[in-house]
């Protein structure tokens, strides 16, 4: 049900180069009964899915490392970020998307995933909702080296790390990606590893 206190008045495209940056003007009915007009920018990059692969026999997880320009220009000296496998839905449902991304990025072919929750990652400026998954993996599921798709400019390093080490990496700042921290904490809270 739409919020009856909000009326969208105008949407102006500021950029549609990589994704779409809109300037949205709307009116909001305030608690005191007055109406105020506001404008905000909203970045629409589509929705995505993320997964954390875990192995209960070895207590390891699969993560990736890749260059992320926004972190580089905001103080990450190498621009490299350790994170859980993720991708945009690209017209797929979240489950099909994350199975495809897992194979492309990590080289593991998984058939069963468990959706754990959904979350807006930066709701003040980005429209994206992210679907969070976990799945158990084993060495038999490894069908290729992963690394992402060449035609998408991906250059992804696959990391198999002890779960306890990844928790320490959050404390040391070696893992700073929010979606990854959320999934690692989920495994801890649920007692999966």
Digit-coded pLDDT (tens) for 22-71: 999 999 999 999 999 999 999 999 999 999 999 999 999 999 999 999 99
Q: How confident is the model at residue 19 (pLDDT cuts 50, 70, 90)?
A: very high
Known binding residue 86? Answer is: yes
Known binding residue 154? Answer is: yes
Q: Is the pLDDT of residue 72 over 90?
A: yes
pLDDT of the residue at 18: 84
Q: Mean pLDDT, to the nearest integer, of 89-94?
A: 93
How confident is the prediction for the chain on average, in pLDDT? 95
Dihedrals phi, psi of 38, to nearest 5 degrees: -135, 155
Start and end residues for every CATH 3.90.79.10 domain found in the chain: 48-190
Known binding residue 105? Answer is: yes
| Nearest alpha-carbon partner for 54 in 129, 95, 114 | 114
Q: Looking at 76-177, list the stretches that DSSP marks H as alpha helix, in order from N- to C-terminal side.
A: 94-106, 163-172
pLDDT of the residue at 153: 67
Separation between Cα atoms, residue 187 and residue 193, nearest integer Å: 6
Known binding residue 101? Answer is: yes
Q: Is the distance from CB of 53 to CB of 62 less than 8 angstroms?
A: yes
For 48-190, CATH number?
3.90.79.10
Separation between Cα atoms, residue 159 and residue 83, nearest integer Å: 10
């Amino acid at each position: 049900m739409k919020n009856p206190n909000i009326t969208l008045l105008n949407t102006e495209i500021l950029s549609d180069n990589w994704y779409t940056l809109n300037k949205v003007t709307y009116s909001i009915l305030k608690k005191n009964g007055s109406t105020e007009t506001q404008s905000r920018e909203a970045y629409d990059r589509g929705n995505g899915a993320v997964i954390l692969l875990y192995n209960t026999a070895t207590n390891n997880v699969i993560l990736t490392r890749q260059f992320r320009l926004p972190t580089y220009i905001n103080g990450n000296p190498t621009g490299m970020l350790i994170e859980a496998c993720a991708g945009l839905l690209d017209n797929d449902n979240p489950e099909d998307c994350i199975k495809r991304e897992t194979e492309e990025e990590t080289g593991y072919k998984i058939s069963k995933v468990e959706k754990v929750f959904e979350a807006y990652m930066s709701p003040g400026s980005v429209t994206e909702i992210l679907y969070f998954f976990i799945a158990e993996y084993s060495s038999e599921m490894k069908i290729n080296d992963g690394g992402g798709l060449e035609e998408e400019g991906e250059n992804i390093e696959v990391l198999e790390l002890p779960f306890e080490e990844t928790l320490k990496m959050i404390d040391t700042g070696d893992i700073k990606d929010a979606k990854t921290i959320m999934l690692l904490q989920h495994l801890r809270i649920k007692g999966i590893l």
